[in-house]
Amino acid sequence: MLSSIPLSPEVSAGKRAVSRCDSLGVPPFSDTPAGLFRAYLSPAHAATLEQVGAWMRESGMSTRIDAAGNLIGHYDGLTPDAHVLLIGSHLDTVRDAGRYDGALGVMLGIEVVSFFHKQQKRFPFALEVIGFGDEEGSRFPVSMLTSRAVAGTLPALPAALHDAANVSLHDALHENHLDPARYTEAARPPGTVLAYLEAHIEQGPVLDTLGEATGIVTAIAAQHRYHVTITGEAGHAGTIPMPLRHDALAAAAEAILAVEQTAKDGPSDLVATVGQLELEPGAPNVVPGSVRLSIDVRAGSDAARDQGAAQICAQIETLANRRGVSLTIQRQHDLPATCCDPQLTALLARSARRINGSEPHFLVSGAGHDAMIMAALAPVCMVFIRCHKGISHNPAESVSAQDTEKAFEIMVDFIISFSEKNETEQEF
């Protein structure tokens, strides 16, 4: 059932955006009855597209769902063939998620368009708000799949992708009335998107520590993600002497500590995480024979990321040889550092100065965002919103309506400034 939050003068754009995220945090907009989990192409995802699409239309936009399952709201420019300023973020979540990661950026995009629609203001460019379907990669083992499709960096739909229930991506697309053969038709023609603007919670503690409502992103960190399998020899826990064991879990434990220590010893922007661990056979009286784990390595530059990742892999190989276990390391993601466009970032910072009355804080995002993919299509910029204690990917994720209102005002001012700048340069 579609919910309605009235567009009344008594409710600020920031408060309405937060409230709408809250309303999307429970069934039918979650795939789980307790806690929030909204997976790409799931029933909760479909219900969310219906609800958010209704809010887009209330705000003066026409809506469509593209070939990759992204929801798009379109607000016409002064001419029918006007190019687009794209505002967006994602609508999917991790498991047991917070309510604002991704969704808040989409809600703010709707609020911005609603503001201009009520003012009967149009620009030489169209405004579009996009809710990307898959950023987190929480259902299928590939992240940012739908922004890759839009940016034109996905040459073909990956084959043989299955979720934890063994449902294939192809079947999930068919269930949502999408044709896998047409997936890459979501790509935007080069030059048709003038700029991409994304508002997002920081997902870190910097702004909260500084007491700043918003921040301006200068770059998004480089990332490597690995799938590691350590294979030892399973055996009876009571009969195999310690010196003769080839314990895969003990090797994995040492590997995890090596990952942590390498990041601690590296540059300040280097972080490394083991976030998944699976072992077999998983019995209390059996020496573990096989362990699978993930390693996520990030840094503000490709060079720092590459050096840290190389050191981690070398250390794991050394300990595997010493412990007599076999090892495979497969790199799953290779995301380069993404610089936000300097001119757009300067324009966004100028808007932040006007709205906040102070110099904005500039920061590098350690988390990946759709903006890093969209940079292949158009210049990008990002505004961060303070989240309480930096908590994210967690039900305790929290933002204030006041901070969100500041981000809304910055976005409105930015779009007006962007229009004035481009009209002066006669780009349209």
Tens of pLDDT, residues 183-234? 999 999 999 999 999 999 999 999 999 999 999 999 999 999 999 999 999 9
Question: Where does the pLDDT of residue 6 fall: very low under 50, low under 70, confident under 90, or very high at 90 and above?
Answer: very low
Location of structure tokens 């009335």: 177
Task: For residue 14, give every residue at least 6 positions away whose Cβ sits within 8 Å of its Cβ, in sequence order, or none.
Answer: 111, 401, 402, 403, 404, 405, 406, 407, 408
Residue 226's identity, in one-letter code, is: Y
Q: Give the fold, CATH level 3, of 13-221+337-425.
A: Aminopeptidase (3.40.630)
CATH class of the domain defined by 222-335: alpha beta
Task: Give yes or no for residue 248 having a pLDDT over 90.
Answer: yes
- pLDDT (tens digit per residue) in 249-286: 999 999 999 999 999 999 988 999 999 999 999 999 99
Q: Which pLDDT score, from 0 to 100, does residue 251 have? A: 98
Q: Which letter does DSSP use for residue 58 in this model?
A: H
Q: Which pLDDT score, from 0 to 100, does residue 10 have? A: 64
Task: For residue 99, give every residue at least 6 positions away whose Cβ sits within 8 Å of its Cβ, in sequence order, or none.
Answer: 21, 22, 24, 25, 36, 397
Distances (CA, A) of 395 to 36, 37, 256, 267: 8, 10, 26, 31
Q: Which pLDDT score, from 0 to 100, does residue 422 have? A: 77
| 233 is an annotated ligand-binding site residue | no
Locate CATH 3.30.70.360 in the chain: 222-335
Task: Give yes or no for residue 5 having a pLDDT over 50.
Answer: no
Task: Give yes or no for residue 9 having a pLDDT over 60.
Answer: no
| 208 is an annotated ligand-binding site residue | no
| 393 is an annotated ligand-binding site residue | yes
| 361 is an annotated ligand-binding site residue | no
Q: Which pLDDT score, from 0 to 100, does residue 141 have? A: 86
d(C-alpha 421, C-alpha 428), whole Å: 11
| 101 is an annotated ligand-binding site residue | yes
Q: Which pLDDT score, from 0 to 100, does residue 8 have? A: 47
**What percentage of the chain exceeds 90 in pLDDT?**
91
| 136 is an annotated ligand-binding site residue | yes
Task: For residue 286, give every residue at least 6 positions away whose Cβ sits within 8 Å of its Cβ, in sequence order, or none.
Answer: 234, 235, 236, 237
CB-based contacts of 322-327 (< 8 A; 24+ apart in sequence): 323/232, 323/246, 323/247, 323/250, 323/251, 323/254, 324/232, 324/246, 325/230, 325/231, 325/232, 325/246, 325/247, 325/248, 325/251, 326/230, 326/231, 326/232, 327/228, 327/229, 327/230, 327/231
- pLDDT (tens digit per residue) in 72-125: 999 999 998 999 999 999 999 999 999 999 999 999 999 999 999 999 999 999
- Average pLDDT over all residues of the chain: 94
Whether the predicted model's global pTM rises above the 0.95 cut: no
Task: Give yes or no for residue 1 having a pLDDT over 50.
Answer: no
| 280 is an annotated ligand-binding site residue | no
Task: Give yes or no for residue 2 having a pLDDT over 80.
Answer: no
